[in-house]
Chains A and B, each alone.
Chain A
Amino acid sequence: MSVESVFPRLEPLLPRISKPVQYVGGELNATVKDWDAASVRWALMYPDAYEVGLPNQGVMILYEILNELPDVLAERTYAVWPDLEALMREHGVPQFTVDAHRPLKAFDLMGISFATELGYTNMLTALDLAGIPIHAADRTEDDPIVVAGGHAAFNPEPIADFVDAAVLGDGEEAVLEITEIVKNWKAQGRPGGRDEVLTRLAETGGVYIPRFYDVEYLPDGRIQRVVPNRDRVPYRVFKRTTMDLDAWPYPKQPLVPLAESVHERMSVEIFRGCTRGCRFCQAGMITRPVRERSIEGIGAMVQKGLEATGFEEVGLLSLSSADHSEIAEITKGLADRYEGTNTGLSLPSTRVDAFNVDLANELSRNGRRSGLTFAPEGGSERMRRVINKMVSEEDLIRTVSAAFSNGWRQVKLYFMCGLPTEEDEDVLQIAEMAKNVIRAGRQASGRNDIRCTISIGGFVPKPHTPFQWAAQCDPDTVDDRLRKLREAVNSDRSLGRNIGMRYHDGKPSLIEGLLSRGDRRVGKVIEAVWRDGGRFDGWTEHFSYERWTTKAAEALEPFGVDLAWFTTREREELEVLPWDHLDSGLDKEWLWADWQDALDEREQDDCRWTPCFDCGVCPAMGTDIEVGPTGRKLLPISPVGVGSPVKNPALTP
């Protein structure tokens, strides 16, 4: 049975809302396939506004991989803003995909990518607008199988009531496997119904089906154990790892939106994983080991991507891009190749060393030197040992001096507040550091108009990190320290006027903490907040701390726990954590030892250039570090076009 586009019903609503272009689809490189010719159909959602969701690499990669299969179809959907949501409810228009405007309920699978936990309420809006029951238990064979992915899926327990399945880790191969299982089950006439297809997914060992596990609690509210409640379901579910990045050069045809998005550039992922070992960093912990894309693979993706998109800027993406074993050759090769084509290259450069300045100089040799960004993360030397961010203040001063003497005029420094063991003094050191940066910068550049911006985020302890046991700092303490920091920055006007400070209050971080380390009981809070109108929690203008605290108090009271229990409570070594049955490869004993090292202010090296320290990932997952150098060079493409990275013989012979 074919499925009709809802566009004729949506179109009359569009002139009445803001930025209608985000709902019309038609992006460059988007794919619309024949519904009836597909045997498995995926709707992929990024649960935030279109402008944030469209550039998401994860969704883009899976969308392209799935659509490359001849009998599989994938379309995208994003969170609709409240103005359109109200009109859709009034006129009975269901949640739709932007590709062919098909209703979500008609799809076999709905994949939702959670980069952050703050998208949970938006998922409920989408399900509800789609006419899909928000509770997985209430869904029938007529409803899509709702699959969560992305980093937040490493603890999907808070959304266990709402999703049918969760996939941990890299999605490239996992989506193909899931597709195959669903295709066979459908071809066989759907034997055993929804339960059977979910069981087949669970049997792979790499797809977590929350309803197939029972959680038992101790009288004091802690978890006693999490066990499968049926046969054919594994005790532990492992994360997926895509090893050979060169075999997966996606996105090949990056989507280019008509509307403006948060990233007006193309991204090429130059490696995946990070073993720098920053203890606060969930991404670095759950994406091990490091797997590099080769220099040629990167060069080909950049050129093909530019040809396919026309973007003016390429970001070389990873968790710490300067760490690629051949980054110098890559940046020089690309800068040479695209000279004169007005193609910008950027590196999310967060490492504090002079080498980074050299790279930035290379990338900007044809353009303007505006600002460089570094992330010391901790204000004091002591704090940086706790979080394992091995940067000395001398390193930083040397680095920024090099930057300022090379013509850079602004330095942006990222920090966190509310870290484990933190005292006021640690945070006040940020002010000292910023002042020293200005002093050094004035000396190196010989000018007074340089700037240093300090940007401070609230620390949220995350699952599968050494800080998973830590007490989260309460918002009042965070706010108080930030107030004192501001006073310290402003205490010396001659330096303070060159220092900018950016931060948010600590309240949203506490809610993020609840959602990050919560268990299944937190699902009741999410639902209550959503029913009360909670939407777009990642947006200051929509987030309501009061609503979250009120609903948390009400919904958690019957369980004898509360918001503080989930957030500001320190866990003990042997407490069963809600995500212990979900295997990121990290050995829990190693994580605990690393947590103890943190408390003792002991640092841990990177296993790429020191011996293995037994974090557990490689043996558990059957993986290995995949790094160069390969010794190969990036060949010039001759010739690139004039004023364009593309040569068109029809126009210029």
Chain B
Amino acid sequence: MQKLRLRYTKRGRLRFTSHRDIARTFERALRRAGVPMAYSQGFSPHPKVSWVGAAPTGVASEAEYVEVSVVERVDPAALKAALDEALPPGIDVVDIVQANGGNLTERIDASEWRIELDGVEPERLAEAVSAFLAATSVEVERLTKDGKKIVDVRPAVVSALVEPRSSDAGHDGAGLSQPCGILMTVVRQVTPTVRPDDVLNALRVVADLVPPVPARATRMAQGRLDDEGRLVDPLQQDRES
């Protein structure tokens, strides 16, 4: 049995897929691509696919991770090409390594997010971010299945930076002349999870910042935080060995 670790994206309209949608789509792509999948034993065997976290529905990602197990040895580069071909555009396999032991989940403890706020002046966003960083605790309410829950956002946020104004606002060509504030933030994966929505709610709490249209978030990277607060590529260890 061979285990492979993949990094894939969730781009454009595909950000509206839920994790379950992605999982189904992925498993079907593995079958179309003719990947010799390993299956679990038992009455209803499932292909051995392990998911590592998952970006929330509505959030795009450049860095999602998954592990697949195969019963016949395959060339990782060939698998990447075959699978990428079988996946819908937007779910793109961007990296693949053969697993070399260890636990992938343990190599991930934070995410970097890029949050685009259409119609929000970068200066206004920067003020709100400063106010947020200056606070020691920013509590927001979140609706869950079990009702409302209070989450303290501030401790999870490692860094938050507003990109300087640029002509390349980075969206799909619509409304080119309107301002767009872009926030880059590194957030620890803690329990309860702090999601981009919670960060935005925190900005509303501290600075009354309410974007005129729903903001768009993208996970840019995941990994372990190093001493300088940067993220280490979780596949690096497999590649080095």
- A residues lining the B interface (CB < 8 Å): 7-8, 11-12, 14-16, 20-21, 24-28, 256, 258-260, 264, 306-312, 342, 367-368, 641-648, 650-652
A-B contact pairs, 8 of them (CB 8 A): A20-B58, A310-B30, A342-B45, A644-B37, A646-B32, A650-B82, A651-B34, A652-B74
B90 CB to nearest chain A CB (Å):
7
Tell me, yes or no, whether B28 is within 8 Å of chain A by CB. yes
A259 CB to nearest chain B CB (Å):
6
Interface hits, B53-85 → A, CB 8 Å:
57-58, 70-72, 74-75, 78-79, 81-82
- Establish whether residues A368 and B43, one from each chain, have CB atoms under 8 Å apart when the complex forms: yes
> For residue A28, which residues in chain B have a CB less than 8 angstroms away from its CB?
25, 28, 88
> For residue B220, which residues in chain A have a CB less than 8 angstroms away from its CB?
none
Given the contacts A21-B21, A368-B44, A644 and B13 also touching, CB distance less than 8 Å: no
Give the contacting residue for A643; candidates B47, B79, B172, B174; CB below 8 A: B47
Q: How far apart sit A68 and B29, CA to CA, in the bound complex (Å)?
A: 24
Give the contacting residue for B34; candidates A342, A367, A648; CB below 8 A: A648
- Establish whether residues B29 and A310, one from each chain, have CB atoms under 8 Å apart when the complex forms: yes
> For residue A643, which residues in chain B have a CB less than 8 angstroms away from its CB?
35-39, 47, 70-71
- Establish whether residues A642 and B71, one from each chain, have CB atoms under 8 Å apart when the complex forms: yes
A11 CB to nearest chain B CB (Å):
8
Residue of chain A at shortest CB distance from B44: A368
Tell me, yes or no, whether B164 is within 8 Å of chain A by CB. no
B88 CB to nearest chain A CB (Å):
6
Residue of chain A at shortest CB distance from B174: A8
Q: How far apart sit A421 and B28, CA to CA, in the bound complex (Å)?
A: 50
Residue of chain B at shortest CB distance from A366: B45
Residue of chain A at shortest CB distance from B13: A24
Given the contacts A12-B214, A260-B20, A367-B44, A642 and B88 also touching, CB distance less than 8 Å: no
Tell me, yes or no, whether B166 is within 8 Å of chain A by CB. no
Tell me, yes or no, whether B24 is within 8 Å of chain A by CB. yes
Residue of chain A at shortest CB distance from B26: A310
- Establish whether residues B14 and A258, one from each chain, have CB atoms under 8 Å apart when the complex forms: yes
- Establish whether residues A651 and B88, one from each chain, have CB atoms under 8 Å apart when the complex forms: no
Tell me, yes or no, whether B33 is within 8 Å of chain A by CB. yes
Report the tally of A-B residue pairs with Cβ distances under 8 A: 117
> For residue B78, which residues in chain A have a CB less than 8 angstroms away from its CB?
650-651
Tell me, yes or no, whether B109 is within 8 Å of chain A by CB. no
> For residue A650, which residues in chain B have a CB less than 8 angstroms away from its CB?
78, 81-82
- Establish whether residues B58 and A15, one from each chain, have CB atoms under 8 Å apart when the complex forms: yes
Residue of chain A at shortest CB distance from B22: A258
> For residue A12, which residues in chain B have a CB less than 8 angstroms away from its CB?
213-214
- Establish whether residues B30 and A651, one from each chain, have CB atoms under 8 Å apart when the complex forms: no
> For residue B172, which residues in chain A have a CB less than 8 angstroms away from its CB?
8, 11
Tell me, yes or no, whether B18 is within 8 Å of chain A by CB. yes
- Establish whether residues A641 and B34, one from each chain, have CB atoms under 8 Å apart when the complex forms: yes
B28 CB to nearest chain A CB (Å):
3
- Establish whether residues B17 and A21, one from each chain, have CB atoms under 8 Å apart when the complex forms: yes
Give the contacting residue for A644; candidates B17, B31, B81, B89; CB below 8 A: B31
B46 CB to nearest chain A CB (Å):
9
- Establish whether residues B20 and A26, one from each chain, have CB atoms under 8 Å apart when the complex forms: no
Residue of chain B at shortest CB distance from A646: B34
Given the contacts A26-B88, A342-B39, A652-B72, A644 and B34 also touching, CB distance less than 8 Å: yes
> For residue A21, which residues in chain B have a CB less than 8 angstroms away from its CB?
16-18, 21, 57
Residue of chain A at shortest CB distance from B34: A648
- Count of B residues near A, CB < 8 Å? 45
- Establish whether residues B14 and A311, one from each chain, have CB atoms under 8 Å apart when the complex forms: no
Give the contacting residue for A310; candidates B28, B81, B174, B213; CB below 8 A: B28
Could you list 15 further interchain pairs (A-B, Cβ under 8 angstroms) beyond the known A20-B58, A306-B31, A642-B71?
A: A12-B213, A14-B58, A259-B21, A260-B20, A260-B24, A311-B28, A367-B44, A368-B43, A648-B33, A648-B82, A651-B33, A651-B35, A651-B36, A651-B72, A652-B74
B93 CB to nearest chain A CB (Å):
14
Tell me, yes or no, whether B27 is within 8 Å of chain A by CB. yes
Q: How far apart sit A415 and B16, CA to CA, in the bound complex (Å)?
A: 41
Q: How far apart sit A245 and B88, CA to CA, in the bound complex (Å)?
A: 31
Residue of chain A at shortest CB distance from B91: A258
> For residue B44, which residues in chain A have a CB less than 8 angstroms away from its CB?
367-368
- Establish whether residues A312 and B214, one from each chain, have CB atoms under 8 Å apart when the complex forms: no
> For residue B37, which residues in chain A have a CB less than 8 angstroms away from its CB?
342, 643-644
Given the contacts A14-B16, A646-B32, A310 and B39 also touching, CB distance less than 8 Å: no
Q: How far apart sit A330 and B74, CA to CA, in the bound complex (Å)?
A: 33
Residue of chain B at shortest CB distance from A311: B28
A651 CB to nearest chain B CB (Å):
5
Residue of chain B at shortest CB distance from A7: B13
> For residue A16, which residues in chain B have a CB less than 8 angstroms away from its CB?
214
Q: How far apart sit A646 and B31, CA to CA, in the bound complex (Å)?
A: 7
Residue of chain A at shortest CB distance from B197: A15
- Establish whether residues B72 and A642, one from each chain, have CB atoms under 8 Å apart when the complex forms: yes
**CB-based closest 3 A-B pairs:** A648-B34, A310-B28, A310-B31
Residue of chain B at shortest CB distance from A21: B16
- Establish whether residues B90 and A15, one from each chain, have CB atoms under 8 Å apart when the complex forms: no
- Establish whether residues B14 and A647, one from each chain, have CB atoms under 8 Å apart when the complex forms: no
> For residue B30, which residues in chain A have a CB less than 8 angstroms away from its CB?
310, 644
Q: How far apart sit A528 and B23, CA to CA, in the bound complex (Å)?
A: 44
Tell me, yes or no, whether B162 is within 8 Å of chain A by CB. no
> For residue A309, which residues in chain B have a CB less than 8 angstroms away from its CB?
28, 32
Given the contacts A20-B58, A342-B47, A643-B39, A26 and B90 also touching, CB distance less than 8 Å: yes
Given the contacts A26-B90, A651-B75, A651-B82, A645 and B31 also touching, CB distance less than 8 Å: yes
> For residue B16, which residues in chain A have a CB less than 8 angstroms away from its CB?
14, 20-21, 24
Q: How far apart sit A115 and B33, CA to CA, in the bound complex (Å)?
A: 34
- Establish whether residues A648 and B21, one from each chain, have CB atoms under 8 Å apart when the complex forms: no
Q: How far apart sit A483 and B74, CA to CA, in the bound complex (Å)?
A: 61
Tell me, yes or no, whether B186 is within 8 Å of chain A by CB. no
Type the 1/0 row for B159-197, where 1 means its CB is closer than 8 Å to any CB of A. 000000000000010100000000000000000000000
> For residue A652, which residues in chain B have a CB less than 8 angstroms away from its CB?
34, 36, 72, 74
Tell me, yes or no, whether B99 is within 8 Å of chain A by CB. no
> For residue B31, which residues in chain A have a CB less than 8 angstroms away from its CB?
306, 310-312, 644-646
B170 CB to nearest chain A CB (Å):
15
Tell me, yes or no, whether B140 is within 8 Å of chain A by CB. no
Tell me, yes or no, whether B86 is within 8 Å of chain A by CB. yes
A400 CB to nearest chain B CB (Å):
22
- With a 10 A CB-CB cut-off, give which of A27, A28, A645 has the most chain B CB atoms: A28
Q: How far apart sit A647 and B86, CA to CA, in the bound complex (Å)?
A: 14
B44 CB to nearest chain A CB (Å):
6
- Establish whether residues A307 and B36, one from each chain, have CB atoms under 8 Å apart when the complex forms: no
